[in-house]
Each structure stands twice: as structure tokens, then as C-alpha cells.
A and B are shown apart, each in its own frame.
Chain A
Amino acid sequence: MNKQLFNSSKEIRQDKLGRLLVYSALTVVLVLACAMLYFIFSKGIATFTQDHINFWDFLTRSNWNTDNLQKPDLGAWALMVTSAETTLLAVLVTTPLALVIAIYIVVMSPKIGGRIVQPLTELLLGIPSVVYGFVGLTVLIPVLRRWAGGTGFGVLAAALVLALMILPTITSLAVEALNGVPQSYQTFAYSLGCTKWQVIVHVLLKISAPNLLVAVIFGVARAFGEALAVQMVIGNTVQLPLGLFTPAATLTSKLTTDMGNTIDGTLASNALWSLALLLLVMSLIFNLLAKLVLRRSQSRESISR
């Protein structure tokens, strides 16, 4: 009898079990995240610790020659430059367009925007990246070839494919950012006699600028990390991209083409893992940037209130 009184009820036992379950699920996710960061990091630095490649050389040289084991000539500079160049071009092409569409959806015509324009861009968001790569390969490349000569494969093709790919990413985040501006600000500006364009420039864009910047950063992150679509159209030659039509290779495309052909533990494989580490670090930097921008805008907001 006494024993039964001191036992916890079924309800409480269930509650404890539930708490245990959800926290262990969270632990699984966190352990996974840490494992991913740890393993890629430890694999990535093996090139420098085991194979004694000079870290500085790796960052600044542009050759990728792992065949000669006595004097390997390894450098990720060309790959990094190509990654940066394609990403930058794509973002430059897409950002103005995405902003215009977002403004259209939020301000110009919310009705048509919400019914037609937004669903259409969201549909683009769902299309797998290989599909973009395929269209680049079969439609864009022949056009570029006719237009500029050469093979058509290269930096420009990759940048244009990426531009289309990140259009929905930036657009949907920009729509969110613009919607975040309180409606009353707009009404207030109109009541002061502002034209629509003045409201857009002086109220909407100004207030949501940090969030728009974050939208662009996420677009950059997506473009920088995309592998297959880029690999299909860039030509895959490790060299500094001197022109827009030079076949080149990015960090991601190099990883995609070569990882299957190397044997685990060799220099060739370790060097690829170093590329993966570079990619990881870049992705972390983009994350950090977005966070910093958001934090600064929030602290400014709380001061002005």
C-alpha cells in the first residue's frame, strides 16, 4: 500500500518518458551536426598534416596535379576564383530581377502577385538542380556556342544557370523581408503625399535593407554550394578563368567529378577533402554574415524604439 503511494502515477511516468524521447531526438541532431563538422575538418587538414603540403601554397597556387607523388603541385586558387566569379556574376544578374519581382508582389499588385507571380517562382524553387544543369547543357550552351564561338562551356554558362536557380531563393526571402515592414508605415507615407515609387525607395527598401541583404547572402550561399548543375556546364578544367567563355572548374564541380576516382587516404583524395573543408568554411562564413547583419539591424531597431 505504502509502496503504491510513493510510486509516480502513469501520467508522470509518461511525461518523463516523453521528455527523454524529445531530448534524445535533439541530441541525435546535434551529434550529427558536430560529427559532420568534425569529420570534414579532420579529413580536410590531412593534406597539410600527413602529406605536408604547404597551406599557403595550397591557397595561392592554381595547378592541380596529384600524379607526381614526389613533387605534388597542388593549389585551390583557380577553383576558388572560379567559384567566386560564377557566384558573383549570378548574384549580379539575379538580385535586381528578384527585387523587382518582390516589390511587384508586395506593393504593385498583391492580387496578381499572390495568385500568379509568387506561385510560379515557388514552383521554380522546387525544380531539382540537375534539371537546371540539363537545360543549361542542351539549350544555353548551343546558344552561347553560336554567339561567342568556342565550346560554349565555361564561366558564363555556369553563372547564368546559377542565376536562374537562385532567382526563386532571393525572391521569396525578399518578399518576406518587404512584408516585414509594418503596413502602417506605408499608409503614413502615402498620407504625406508620397508617390508609390517614393514609398518603395524611401520607406520599404530602406527599412528592409538588412533583411534584403540577408536574402542576397542566402542566394550567394546557394550558388556557391551548388555542385551538379555547375559541373554539367562549366567544362571542368582547372585553370584561372581568364574570360567568360574559358572552361574552368569550381570547388564543388571538382569535388563532384573527382571524388569517385580517388582512393581513400591517398594525397589525391585528401586534397579533395581539403576542398570540401574550404567549401564548409565558406558556408559557415555566409551563415555568420547573415547572422551579423540580422543582429545589427535588430539592435538598431530596439534603440530607435
Chain B
Amino acid sequence: MNRYRVNQIMTGVLNGVTFLVVLFIASFILYLLASGMTAVNWHFLTTSSEVGLGIRDQLFNSLYLLLLTQLISLPIALGAAMALTLYADSRSKLASFAQGLIQILSSLPSIIVGLFGFLILVLKFNLGFSIISGALALTFFNLPILTQSIAVSLQGVPDEVMQSGLALGISKWHTITKVILPEAMPGIWSGIVISAGRVFGEAATLIYTAGQSAPTLDYTNWNPFNPASPLNIFRPAETLAVHIWKVNTESLGQDAATVSRGTIVILILVVLLFNLVARYFSTTMRKKVGR
């Protein structure tokens, strides 16, 4: 058999296998969407899981936790990434130690992060199963990922920008905030959105920190200290992803499947949306760099 024949056969195999896998992935996603679509309606989105089979409170909890997590982790991640890429000498011992540690942190299994949150926040600081425990645990989970992606987009800005700023007699801080950050912004946004997708679907970190129950919320109550208020950060809060896990391990039979299918549709649509937004930002970034 000569090499051209081998090439022909292997090309066929490669194309065929890829086609089959792509077909499989596409039908997997279509199956998830199609089987859940029937469960999603206005009633499903607006009733509490305590009285009916809705996911109103879980949806709110997911978004609220996502917001709090990003609010806490963004300034820290941005600062840490700036310190690593723009301030510290990248060949110094400190920088490589810090990078190694962040790398380790970002590859820890999320259940470990969740257990650490359980130990420190729920048990040691006595915060109980609460939104604040969940948001902080998610921050532990999110920080290394976000720091790494922001660092990558900061590195994408050419060194000459910093040097010309300094040559003009502008302070480092001023150059960073007025020139480098705006330049890296699309990349940073894309990193934020991607990490938001991961945080939104995260469950293992939350089952022992934000808890597995969603008390019915009263959306007219804006007093953050009232236990029924959605804004209260000391109430337990089950998210969408945790809800899927919870109803299936408690096995409520047919209802569990219906509720999970509907919830999965919402989760996937949100993740899809995040993906599209991130893609949009990274194309703007590419255009900017290619200018």
C-alpha cells in the first residue's frame, strides 16, 4: 500500500470521525434544548419551588450570587494581574512563585474549594449556609481563573506603550489607568464573561456553602436584614445548578426530570449568551490589535 493510499484512507477516517463526533455533540445540545423547551413557560419562571415546581428563586439566587462574586473578585483579580504583568519583574522569584501558586489554585477541583469554603466560612466564621458564604467561596473559585485571563489580556498590550508613557514623564499608574487598561479592556471583558459562565453553572462549590434550600422570597421586601428579602445576604440560597443536582439526588420521580430539563434549558441559554458576548469582545480585541 503506497503512502498516497494511506493518506486517502486516513483523511477519510479523520473526516468521518470528526463528522460523527460533531453530529453527536450537536444532537446532545439539541436534545437538551428540545426536551426541556416544553417545561419552560412563564409559570415555570415565576413560581417558587416551595409552592410549585417553578425556579423563580433559584434563578434570582444564581444571578445575585454571580453579581456579588464578580463584584468581590474583579478588583482583586485586576490588581493581582496588574501586579504580575506590569509591576513585578516576570523573571523574579516572587513572580514565578505567585504564578505557580495561582496556577495550582486554578486547577484545584471545585469540590475542594467548596469544602474549604465550608470549613472557613460556614464553620469557622459562623456565616452558616448563606449567600455571603456562597459568594466568597465562588470568589475563591473565580479569582485564579479571572486573574490568569486578565493577565493574558494585559500582556497583549505591547511593552512600548508603557515605555512611551514613561518617556513622556507620565507616572506608571497614570499610563496604566489611562492607556493600557482601555487598550486591554475588550480582552478583560471577554475574560469576565467567560468566568461568569463558569460561576453561573458551578454547583460543587456551592452545595456546602450557599446551601441546598431556597426559602420562598418576597420580592416586595427590600429590607436587606429581613430573612424573606431577596437582598438579604445571610439567607441560604440554592442556585439553578444546585437545584438540578438536588432534585435528582432526592429523586422526586417524574417531576424531578421535568424540573431539571427546564432548568437546563435556562442554564444553557445563559451560557450560550455568555459565549456569544465573549466572542464579540474577543473579535473587537483582535480588530484593535490588528489595527
CB pair A225–B15 under 8 Å, yes or no, is no
Does A232 have its Cβ within 8 Å of any Cβ on chain B?
A: yes
Q: Report yes or no: A131 in contact with B264, Cβ–Cβ below 8 A.
A: yes
Q: Does B268 contact A (CB under 8 A)?
A: yes
Known: A25-B75, A256-B207, A287-B104. A15 touches B80 (CB 8 A): no
A15/B84 in contact, CB under 8 A: no
Which of B108, B174, B272 has the most CB atoms of chain A within a 10 A radius of its CB? B108
Q: Which of A203-235 contact B (CB under 8 A)?
A: 218, 221, 224-228, 231-232
Shortest Cβ distance from residue A221 to the other chain B in the assembled complex, whole angstroms: 6
Residue on A nearest B115 in the bound complex, by CB: A276
Instruction: Point out the residues of chain B lying under 8 angstroms from A100, CB to CB.
Output: 14, 17-18, 21
Cα(A24)–Cα(B78), bound, Å: 11
The answer to whether B245 and A130 touch across the interface, beta carbons within 8 angstroms, is: yes
B267 near A128 with CB under 8 A, answer yes
A29-B102, A287-B103 given; A256·B204 CB < 8 A:
yes
Q: Tell me the complex Cα distance, A218–B103, Å.
A: 12
Binds B, one of A31-39, A58-66, A143-151, A176-184: A31-39
How long is the Cα–Cα vector from A160 to B87 in the complex, in angstroms?
45
Q: Which residue of B lies closest to A198 (CB)?
A: B3
Residues of B within 8 A of A292 (CB): none
A residues in contact with B102, CB < 8 Å? 29, 33
Check B7 against A196 for contact (C-beta < 8 Å): yes
Determine whether the beta carbon of B118 is less than 8 Å from that of A259: yes
A255 and B14 contact, CB distance less than 8 A:
no
Give min CB distance, A80 to chain B, whole Å: 14
A46 CB, min distance to chain B CBs, angstroms? 12
A134 neighbours in B (Cβ, 8 Å)? 244, 248, 260, 264
Q: Are A129 and B204 in contact (CB under 8 A)?
A: yes
- Chain A, range 91-126, C-beta contacts under 8 Å to B: 97, 100-101, 103-104, 108, 116-117, 119-124, 126
A36 engages B113 (CB within 8 Å): yes
Are A195 and B3 closer than 8 Å at their CB atoms? yes
- Identify which of A97, A128, A164, A279 contacts B202 (C-beta below 8 A): A128
Q: Is B149 among interface residues, defined by CB-CB distance under 8 A?
A: no
Complex CA distance for A35 and B272, rounded to whole angstroms? 35
In the complex, which residues 221-260 of chain B have their Cβ closer than 8 Å to any Cβ of chain A? 241-242, 244-245, 248-249, 257, 260
Do B119 and A43 touch (CB < 8 A)? yes
Q: Confirm or deny: B280 has a beta carbon within 8 angstroms of a beta carbon on chain A.
A: no
Q: Tell me if A22 and B83 are in contact (CB < 8 A).
A: yes
* Chain A contacts for B264, CB-based, 8 A: 131, 134
* A-B contact number at CB 8 A: 239
CB pair A32 B171 closer than 8 Å:
no
Cα A198 to Cα B279 with chains together (Å): 34
Total interface residues on B, using CB and 8 Å? 86
Verify B109–A283 contact, CB threshold 8 A. yes
Across the interface, which residues of A come within 8 angstroms of B140, CB to CB? 32, 36
A18 near B104 (CB under 8 angstroms)?
A: no
Inter-chain contact B248/A232, CB cutoff 8 Å: yes
A26 with B98: CB separation less than 8 A: yes
Could you tell me the dominant secondary structure of chain A's interface residues?
Answer: helix
CB-CB under 8 A from A198, the residues of chain B are: 3, 7
Is B208 interfacial (CB-CB < 8 Å)?
Answer: yes
Within 8 Å of chain A (Cβ to Cβ): is B147? yes
A127 touches B268 (CB 8 A): yes
Q: Are B108 and A101 in contact (CB under 8 A)?
A: no
B76 partner residues in chain A, CB cutoff 8 A? 25, 28-29
By the criterion CB–CB under 8 Å, are A104 and B14 in contact? yes
Asked if B215 is at the interface (CB within 8 A of a chain A CB), the reply is no
Task: Out of A23, A130, A133, A226, name the residue touching B83 (CB < 8 Å).
Answer: A23
Nearest A-chain residue to B105, judged by Cβ: A33
Inter-chain contact B18/A104, CB cutoff 8 Å: yes
Compute how far the CA of A221 lies from the CA of B112 in the bound complex, rounded to whole angstroms: 13
Q: Which residue of B lies closest to A21 (CB)?
A: B79
Contacting pair B115 A117 (CB below 8 A): no
**Assuming the A-B contacts A29-B80, A127-B271, A130-B245, are A197 and B6 also in contact, with contact meaning beta carbons closer than 8 angstroms in the complex?**
yes
The answer to whether A225 and B18 have CB atoms under 8 Å apart is no
A residues neighboring B (CB under 8 Å): 11-12, 14-15, 17-19, 21-26, 28-30, 32-37, 39-40, 43, 97, 100-101, 103-104, 108, 116-117, 119-124, 126-131, 133-135, 137-139, 164, 167, 195-198, 200, 218, 221, 224-228, 231-232, 252, 255-256, 259-260, 264, 273, 276, 279-280, 283-284, 286-287, 291
A-B CB contact pairs (8 Å), 17 listed: A22-B82, A23-B79, A23-B83, A25-B75, A29-B77, A122-B275, A123-B29, A123-B271, A126-B198, A129-B201, A130-B201, A138-B260, A167-B21, A197-B10, A198-B3, A228-B207, A283-B109
Q: Can you add 18 more A-B contacts, CB < 8 Å, to A100-B14, A128-B200?
A: A11-B170, A18-B177, A23-B87, A33-B104, A117-B18, A119-B279, A130-B241, A167-B21, A197-B3, A218-B107, A225-B112, A228-B203, A231-B249, A252-B111, A256-B111, A279-B109, A283-B108, A287-B103
